[in-house]
Amino acid sequence: MSRRFDAIIIGAGQAGPPLAGRLTSAGMSVALIERHLFGGTCVNTGCMPTKTLVASAYAAHLTRRSADYGVTLSGPLRIDMARVKARADAVSANARVGVERWLRDMKGCVVINGHASFSAPDAVQVADETLSAPRIFINVGGRAIVPDLPGIAQVRFLTNGTVLALDRVPEHLVVVGGSYAGLEFAQIYRRFGAAVTVVEMAARLIAREDEGVSQAIREILEGEGITIRTGAECITLAPHANGVAVGVDCATGDPEILGSDVLLAVGRRPNTDDLGLDKAGVVTNARGYIQVDDGLATSVPGIWALGDCNGRGAFTHTAYNDFEIVAANLLDGEQRKVSERIPGYALYIDPPLGRVGMTEAQAHASGRPLLSGHRPMSRVGRAIEKGETQGFMKIIVDAETRKILGAAILGTGGDEAIHGILDTMNAGVPYTALQRAVPIHPTVCELIPTMLGEMRPVR
Ligand SMILES: Cc1cc2nc3c(=O)[nH]c(=O)nc-3n(C[C@H](O)[C@H](O)[C@H](O)COP(=O)(O)OP(=O)(O)OC[C@H]3O[C@@H](n4cnc5c(N)ncnc54)[C@H](O)[C@@H]3O)c2cc1C
């Protein structure tokens, strides 16, 4: 059987569904193919369930600290993991059902459940059906990397997907990978009462960030009783009576960690290996990411790649922005470019890290003359009032153009407060525009102009 459409979308992640909405509104017939769960990673195994767990973990943390606020509770804290899990499941399920219903009710959109793979540059195969279209949009996302560690085949391990199925608190969770996802899970389960060890191969946590950020995050996590093992070379896994023995060859510390559970959080890989890209001639890089130009077109005319699978972003908001770029260029006669996007993201440990633009190290490497500002959260009124003074905010500015190059806000509300800086950068105005704004008191944002007024040249 074969059917022809105006457009085919592979994957119902963060870019595919809204693109289906725009294309059908423009009068096109669209086939949208999803092989697993509608909403993709973010809705089912990424942002939504994890941030729901972060909220439960925060509630536990605040409960433990309640006496600091003059609130007393009688009886010990108890974590009801079944309810914690049910809450996260419900948040995901609501979103998943909503996306699927929206697509199925969409006039002009045919939703097909199944695995799609290319059979030609303008055709994909789903089971025994061939679908063809002059425009094909790939939104297949990615999955957790399972590293080829010695012993991996002999042990049970968790990934970001399977850890969400736990309705118990692990006795001792060993998290392999000290980057964004790994650190979020580490703090979540520590706050639920697990012993937690983070094993990271690099010399420091989230090595892409500036050293000061890595160090402050390490101190925050260690302050909650999480054991951090950096510089862990030669990681091995072996079955053990109590779970898993994780062998680490660190410069210091025990060479073996005995965990009840091990979570692998060492990065993601694109879902492009089973897509038949060779049959279409679509070029990928050595890591399997689909190569795209500034408008997200692939090497084959009529095929675009959006979201995590193109390697140009690794977030829900970047996948959605890919949709906006493609839709604007195809349907609105615009010429938007992915290179115009100013990178922003957050790490949702508590307190969160909000980030935008360059790190200080990147700004330094660019050779520009720089100004930088720094303010500890212990000198932010709102943080003091909330009793959450860990972290700091910092900003890097081009001393000549006075444009903001990058910033980090590690502290209470940092994920929200960073947007004042992100918006200023997007507006393309000098930092003085933000410095002269009158922010609301008491907020974390109100100290950003103060920080900008106290900047110093970077040597
Ligand atoms: C633990 C974790 C936490 C995260 N937290 C955040 C966060 O807080 N904020 C944030 O911005 N990002 C976060 N992310 C990243 C975010 O989830 C992804 O960047 C985002 O989901 C990418 O969207 P996408 O549309 O590219 O792909 P996906 O959401 O992965 O969707 C791809 C879809 O394509 C389908 N598919 C794949 N291959 C085929 C095929 N051949 N045929 C048919 N269908 C196919 C898949 O089943 C899937 O539904 C997190 C990720 C993880 C793992």
List pLDDT tens digits, range 374-420.
999 999 999 999 999 999 999 999 999 999 999 999 999 999 999 99
**Position 253 pLDDT exceeds 90:** no
Query: Distances from the Cα of 32 to the Cαs of 46, 74, 332, 389, 431, in angstroms?
Result: 22, 54, 22, 47, 44
Q: Which of 198, 174, 187 is nearest to 58 (CA)?
A: 187
pLDDT in tens, 275-320: 999 999 999 999 999 999 999 999 999 999 999 999 999 999 999 9
**Of all atoms in ligand 1, which is nearest to the CA of residue 315?**
19
Pair of tokens at residue 355: 């980030």
H or E stretch covering 211: helix 211-223
pLDDT > 80? residue 449? yes
Q: What is the mean pLDDT of residues 134-144?
A: 98
Using the mean position of ligand 1's atoms as its centre, give its distance from the Cα of residue 96 in Å: 13
Cα separation, 381 vs 103, in Å, equals 46
Q: How many angstroms separate the CA atoms of 391 and 409, rounded?
A: 8
Please identify, by atom number, the ligand 1 atom nearest to the C-alpha of residue 314: 19
Ligand 1 atom at minimal distance to the Cα of residue 51: 8
pTM here?
0.98
| DSSP one-letter string for 325-349 | HHHHHHHS-----GGGPPPEEEE-S
Query: Measured from the CB, is residue 311 less than 6 Å from ligand 1?
Result: no
Residues written for the chain: 459
- 38's CB contacts (< 8 A; 6+ apart) are 12, 17, 96, 97, 99, 100, 103
423 vs 319: CA distance, rounded Å: 19
- Partners of 261 in beta bridges: 173
How far away, in angstroms, is 183 Cα from ligand 1 center?
19
Backbone angles phi, psi at 376, to 5 degrees: -75, 150
Q: Are 284 and 276 in contact (CB under 8 A)?
A: no
The SS3 call for residue 240 is strand
Q: Percentage of the chain with pLDDT > 90? A: 96
What is the per-residue pLDDT for 234?
A: 87
Q: What distance in angstroms lies between residue 73's CA and the mean position of ligand 1's atoms? A: 40
User: Best mutation site among 34, 140, 356 for ligand 1, i.e. most ligand atoms within 8 A of its Cβ?
Assistant: 140
CA of 138 to the centre of ligand 1 (A): 12
Buried b / exposed e across 170-196, counting CB within 10 Å, b at 16+?
Answer: bebbbbbbbbbbbbbbbbbbbbbbbbb
Question: Is the beta carbon of 410 within 6 A of some atom in ligand 1?
Answer: no
Ligand 1 neighbourhood includes 40 CB (under 6 angstroms): yes
* Residue 137 alpha carbon to ligand 1 centre in Å: 15
Model pLDDT, residue 254: 85
Q: What is residue 17's predicted lDDT score, i.e. its pLDDT?
A: 98
Residue from 315, 318, 349, 356 whose mutation best tests the ligand 1 pocket (most atoms within 8 A of CB): 315
* CA separation for the pair 210, 201 (Å, rounded): 17
Our answer on whether the CB atom of 49 is closer than 6 Å to any ligand 1 atom is: no
Q: CA angle, 348 as apex, 347 and 349 as ends, to 5°? A: 100
Tens of pLDDT along 27-54? 999 999 999 999 999 999 999 999 999 9
Contacts for 429 with CB less than 8 Å, ≥ 6 apart: none
Among 14, 86, 18, 16, residue whose Cα is nearest residue 47: 14
Percent of the chain scoring above 70 in pLDDT: 100
Whether the predicted pLDDT of 159 surpasses 80: yes
Atom of ligand 1 nearest to the CA of 11: 34
* Catalytic residue annotation: 441
269 C-beta closer than 6 A to ligand 1:
no
Atom of ligand 1 nearest to the CA of 116: 42
Query: 99 CB under 6 A from ligand 1?
Result: no
Does the beta carbon of 15 sit less than 6 angstroms from any atom of ligand 1?
Answer: yes
Q: What are phi and psi of 366, to 5 degrees?
A: -75, -10
CA–centroid distance, 40 to ligand 1, in Å, is 5
List all residues 6 or more positions away from 149 whose beta carbon is below 8 Å from its beta carbon.
176, 235, 236, 237
- 93 vs 255, higher pLDDT: 93
pLDDT tier at 13, thresholds 50, 70, 90: very high
Looking at ligand 1, which residue's alpha carbon is closest to its atom 39? 140
Is residue 106 predicted with pLDDT exceeding 80? yes
Structure tokens at 225: 């009783």
* 160 close to ligand 1 (CB < 6 Angstrom): yes
Q: State which of 41, 92, 418 you would mutate to test the pocket of ligand 1, scoring each by most atoms of that ligand within 8 A of its C-beta.
A: 41
Q: What is the pLDDT of residue 131?
A: 98
User: What is the tens place of the pLDDT at every residue in 145-157?
Assistant: 999 999 999 999 9
Residue 250 has pLDDT above 90, yes or no: no
Q: How confident is the model at residue 233 (pLDDT cuts 50, 70, 90)?
A: confident
d(CA 303, CA 10): 11
